[in-house]
Structure formats: C-alpha cells, structure tokens
C-alpha cells in the first residue's frame, strides 16, 4: 500500500471519509497503519489479532503461562507433541511461519528492532533476527509429525490435531481468524477451543501484539468508489463480516461479536500496549516472498540457517529503495 500511495496510484481518502468520525470510531493503531505521509490512503475492513495460542480446554487445563520459557516447558500430555503447525498455503506457503518469527522478534527484541526490520535497515543475519529463527526452530522441533508434516499441512488444517482423540498436539499458534477453520476443517464446536495471548519473552516489551488486516484503497476517483469507501468504514458495513464469525472489525463501535473468543480478541486489538502490523505484509513484495520461502527452507533443513539468512540479506539489499 505504501508503495502505491507514494507512487500516487492510490488516491488519498481525506476528503472522501468523514475524517472526524472515522478517527473516533476506528482502533487508533489501524488508523495510523492506513496513513501514508499524513494522508489516509487505506481503510481496514476487517482485522485479526495474531500471536494467539489456541488450545482445546479438554486437553489443556492449566493457566496461561506467564512467560515463554514456562510455556515451552509445558508437558504436552495427553498429546505427544506440544505444537501443531501447518505452513502449506499454495503459492503463499510459509506465511504462518513468518507470523511466528514476527512474534518472536517483537517479544524478544522489541518494537524498535521490529520497525527497523520492517523498514529494511535491520540485517537478517543480525543476532536479533537469527535468534527469532532459532526460537521458531525449537518450536518446530516439538511439532506434531515433524518437519514433513509441518511443511505439507495446509494452514487451515493446522489446528485439526487439537480436536482428535487422542490429540496430536496441545497448542496451535495462529491469528484470530482461525476459529472459522477450527469449525469447518477441524470439526470443532464452540467451547472446544480457547486461546491465550502468546506470553511475553523480554519483560521490557510486555504487552506487545502483532496483527493483520484487509485493507481497501481507491485507485480511481469515481463517485461510486467514494460512496463505497465511505460505506466500508461504517459500523453497518463492518458488522456483516463480524457476524459471520472469524473476523474483527476495525470499527470499535461494532460490538456484536458472535462468540466470546471473537470478543476477547477484539479487546486485545483495541487495547494492545504495543501493536505492530504483520511485518512480512509490510515488507516489499520481493522481501515478503523471500521470507515465506526462507521459512520453508529453514524448516526443511535447519542446518542451512546461516546461508538462508544471508540470502535474505541479499534480497533485502535490492528489494528496498528506489
């Protein structure tokens, strides 16, 4: 979006929307993310909170661990493996892994490193990013079915093993939209899944949360497009998706979430201490694409980490800038 807005292809929306109402009704973090050079260039139709850890209350009865270390030390019983991960997603395979890395970077090294990383000034080979990859590697080591299953399982099926008997795994890391898949792919019913926020790692960055969203922008300034944009930001429009389940509204006036899970993730979105947008989605497409692929290569062969990261540095050097 930033690339298009800077190139002038995306038309600013400041005189299209009722800016005062828009700013009052929309989660502040999302208003800021849709703004380029002081102009509103994109509006969020729906959003998701990432870095949520899902479990089946029938199998995981403990309290949400306060720290990452405590979580990692959790016994996977009654399942054999602690984690379920599914990275397959057609041509976009690998993206669920980028969410993991993002959560690790934000929680281990904080928003400043995260922002620099998004902006392309933080080297992939730097210790901060490398340690995020290594933390993810440890998670994959405790994952159901080993790396082959992780690579071939579709992200939508990723959590299915939470609901089998005996369960394949105890925990699944995914954004709030996944509840839709739990029900449709995993055959789960309401009440069979719940979540806690991924615990903090470095206490100085407590409360940090990542998220994502679907953005609308205007390429052609026509009366029809203006009317659509103005409608899309209203509570009436955003309610439609929310009521279907699995989506959070950018508009804080929307409160009629169909279930408690959606309602709680909406609270996390509205009150995040540090909220950062999905890093890979903010990177230039070439970088994003290489990031996805790097995840797959790393899971496939963790010993290649150094060469994978230096390859990402090469892409970084050419993907950013003029």
Partner 1 sequence: MDSRLITALIVVIGVPGVLLGYIVLSERLLAFAPDRMRGRLRPWVWLAPAIAFLGVFLVYPTLNTIVLSFFDKFSKKFVGFDNYVYFLTTNDTLTALRNNAIWLVLLTFFAVGGGMIIAILVDRVRYESIAKSIIFVPLAISFVGAGVIWKFMFDYRPPGQPQTGTLNGIVTTTGADPVPWLINAPMNTIALIIVAAWIWTGFCMVILSGALKGISAELLEAARVDGANELQVFRGITFPLLLPTIAVVATTMIITSLKAFDIVYVMTNGAYDTEVIANRMIKELFTYGQPGRASATAVLLLLLIIPVMAINIRRFRAQEAIR
Site string for partner 1, 298-317 (x = CB under 8 A): --x----------x--x---
Site string for partner 1, 255-294 (x = CB under 8 A): -----------------------------xxx--x---x-
DSSP string of 262-311, one letter each residue:
HHHHHHHHHH-SEEEE-HHHHS-HHHHHHHHHHHHHHHH-GGGHHHHHHH
Is the CB of residue 102 less than 8 Å from the CB of residue 110? Answer: no
Is the CB of residue 51 less than 8 Å from the CB of residue 197? Answer: yes
Using CB under 8 A, which residues numbered 64 to 103 contact partner 1? Answer: 90-91, 93-94
Instruction: Please select the residue that binds partner 1; options are 105, 132, 296, 312, rule is CB under 8 A.
Output: 296
Shortest distance in whole angstroms from residue 103 CB to partner 1: 22
Instruction: Please select the residue that binds partner 1; options are 36, 135, 151, 175, rule is CB under 8 A.
Output: 151
85: tokens are: 């991960």
Shortest distance in whole angstroms from residue 29 CB to partner 1: 27
Burial of 270 (0-12, 13-18, 19+ CB in 10 A): middle
Using rule CB under 8 A, residue 146 touches partner 1: yes
SS3 91: strand
**Residue 266: closest CA among 285, 284, 246, 282:** 246
Shortest distance in whole angstroms from residue 160 CB to partner 1: 10
Instruction: Please select the residue that binds partner 1; options are 5, 106, 149, 233, rule is CB under 8 A.
Output: 149
**Residue 61: closest CA among 80, 74, 47:** 74
Q: Which residues of this chain interact with partner 1, rule CB under 8 A? A: 3, 90-91, 93-94, 144-146, 148-149, 151-152, 168, 284-286, 289, 293, 296-297, 300, 311, 314, 318-319, 322
């Amino acid at each position: 979006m930033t690339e298009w807005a800077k190139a002038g292809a995306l038309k600013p929306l400041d005189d299209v929307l009722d800016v005062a109402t828009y700013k009052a009704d929309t989660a502040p973090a999302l208003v800021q993310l849709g703004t380029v050079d002081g102009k509103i260039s994109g509006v969020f139709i729906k959003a998701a909170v990432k870095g949520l850890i899902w479990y089946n209350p029938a199998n995981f009865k403990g309290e949400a661990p306060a720290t990452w270390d405590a979580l990692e030390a959790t016994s996977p019983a009654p399942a054999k493996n602690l984690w379920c991960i599914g990275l397959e997603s057609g041509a976009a395979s690998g993206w669920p892994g980028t969410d993991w890395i993002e959560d690790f970077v934000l929680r281990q090294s904080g928003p400043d490193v995260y922002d620099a990383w998004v902006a392309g000034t933080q080297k992939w080979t730097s210790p901060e990013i490398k340690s995020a990859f290594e933390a993810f590697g440890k998670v994959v080591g405790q994952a159901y079915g080993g790396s082959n299953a992780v690579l071939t399982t579709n992200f939508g099926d990723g959590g299915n093993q939470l609901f089998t008997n005996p369960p394949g795994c105890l925990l699944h890391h995914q954004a709030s939209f996944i509840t839709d898949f739990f029900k449709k792919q995993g055959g789960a019913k309401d009440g069979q899944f719940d979540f806690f926020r991924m615990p903090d790692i470095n206490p100085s960055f407590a409360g940090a949360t990542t998220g994502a969203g679907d953005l609308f922008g205007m390429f052609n300034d026509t009366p029809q497009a203006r009317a659509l944009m103005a409608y899309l930001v209203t509570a009436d429009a955003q309610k439609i998706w929310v009521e279907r389940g699995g989506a959070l509204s950018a508009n804080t006036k929307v409160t009629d979430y169909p279930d408690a899970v959606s309602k709680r993730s909406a609270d996390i979105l509205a009150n995040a201490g540090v909220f950062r947008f999905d890093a890979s989605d903010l990177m230039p497409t070439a970088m994003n694409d290489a990031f996805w692929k790097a995840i797959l290569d790393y899971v496939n062969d963790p010993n290649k980490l150094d060469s994978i990261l230096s390859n990402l540095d090469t892409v970084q050097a050419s993907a950013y800038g003029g």
